[in-house]
Each structure stands twice: as structure tokens, then as C-alpha cells.
Amino acid sequence: MPDIFKKPAEKPKETPPLISEMPTQQYNPISSYCKYPANVKFAGTDEQEKIILLLRKHWLTNLRWILMGIVLTLVPIPFVYFPVLNFLPERFLVVTVLFWYLVTSAFVLEKFLSWFFNVYIVTDERVFDVDFYNLVDRDISDANIEDIQDVTSSIRGAIRTSFDYGDIFIQTSAEVPELDFEAVPHPDEVAKILRDLRVEEEQEKLEGRVR
């Protein structure tokens, strides 16, 4: 007689894929949050390393210098279209306006490059903090995933809470004791990824000992 009360066999639970094994995705070069970016290389990484996160400061942090650039662009208009300085030679006004826009363009370009090249990179092996000062001056700090001791995320203020960006503080046992990711998008998710990578690294070391 068949056992009608027998429980059906439970399906084995699927093991979620490792973070380091997730497929790459299309890379947006001006995004402040890129997860598993494809075809991205930078100085200091090995060929075997896989980039998990490429982060910049949240786009909202650019709003101040963007508004300043707009204001600086509008400043010469009253002097050009209204006879405020009509007593000055026309050539002098033209040169002054051109010089003003040259300085304004340099200001905007410098601010954009500073935002674009100041990046935070997380690979399956290391964490990088790239500080860009100018085209010939930059600092790169890094720490191995296995050296991470603690990861803390912080979101303070109504604006940061509304737009979901904040700071990440990474305590390490490496030569650089702390790496700070400032004003990055989705800080809680970034912190979780870093913790999961640390767990995966520890698991790999344990499996290596068994072998």
C-alpha cells in the first residue's frame, strides 16, 4: 500500500553565485555607481583581478560647482549687451570677455576631472582609493580584501537619505589603516558587498587548507 503520508523529497537549495563570479555588465563611463563593469582597466591591477565596483562621488555633489559655472557664464552678459562700460575700448572688452570665459572653462573642466578621476574601486582581491589632484599628480591607496577588519556605512542628513548616498569607512590591518569612500551611492549595498567579499576570501583560504 503506497505511503500517502510520505513527505515529498525536498529540492536541494540552490547556492547563490559568488560575488566574484557574477557576469560583467555594460559600463557607463560617467556613472557614479558601476557594478561589474566590462572592459575596464586601470593601473595597479593584475590581469586575473575582476572589478566588482567602480564608484565616484554621487552626482549631486557636483551641483555646487555646476551652478557656479552657470553663474560665471552669465556674468559678462550685462557688460556686453548693456552700455555699462561703453567708455572702454571695444577690443579691451572683447579680450576681457574671452579671458573670463577661458578662466570659467578651466574652472569647470578642473572640477569635472577631479570628480571623474577620483574613484573608489573594489575588485575580488583588493580595494583601491584613487585621489586625483591634477593630470600629473595622484595618489593610490589599496588594501587586500583579506586585510579588511571592519566596514561601516554612514548616511547623515535629509538630502543624503533622500538620494541614498553616504560614506564608507573601511578599517584594515594593512599599511593604510583606513580607506574612506566619500559620498558614494548606495553605501549600505557597498558595505554589504565588501563584507561578502571578505567572507568569500576567508572561505577560499579554508578550502585551500583542506586541499
pLDDT of residue 12 exceeding 60, the answer is no
Query: Among residues of the chain, what percentage have pLDDT more than 90?
Result: 51
Burial category of 140 from C-beta neighbours within 10 Å (exposed 0-12, middle 13-18, buried 19 and up):
middle
Rounded Cα distance between 167 and 155, Å, is 7
End-to-end CA distance of the chain: 48
**Which one is predicted more confidently, 144 or 27?**
144
Q: Name the band, by pLDDT with cuts 50, 70 and 90, for residue 106.
A: very high
Q: Is 8 strand, coil or helix? A: coil
Look at residue 48 in the predicted model and tell me its pLDDT: 79
What is the grid cell recorded at 105? 572653462
CA distance 123 to 129: 12
Q: Residue 191 pLDDT more than 80?
A: yes
- Please list, in sequence order, all residues whose beta carbon lies within 8 angstroms of the beta carbon of residue 19, skipping any fewer than 6 positions away: 52, 124, 193, 196, 197, 200
Q: Is the pLDDT of residue 68 over 70?
A: yes
Domains belonging to the chain, first-starting first, are 25-57+118-210 (2.30.29), 64-112 (no CATH)
163-172: average pLDDT: 95
pLDDT for position 156: 93
- pTM comes to 0.81
Mean pLDDT, range 62-89, rounded to an integer = 81
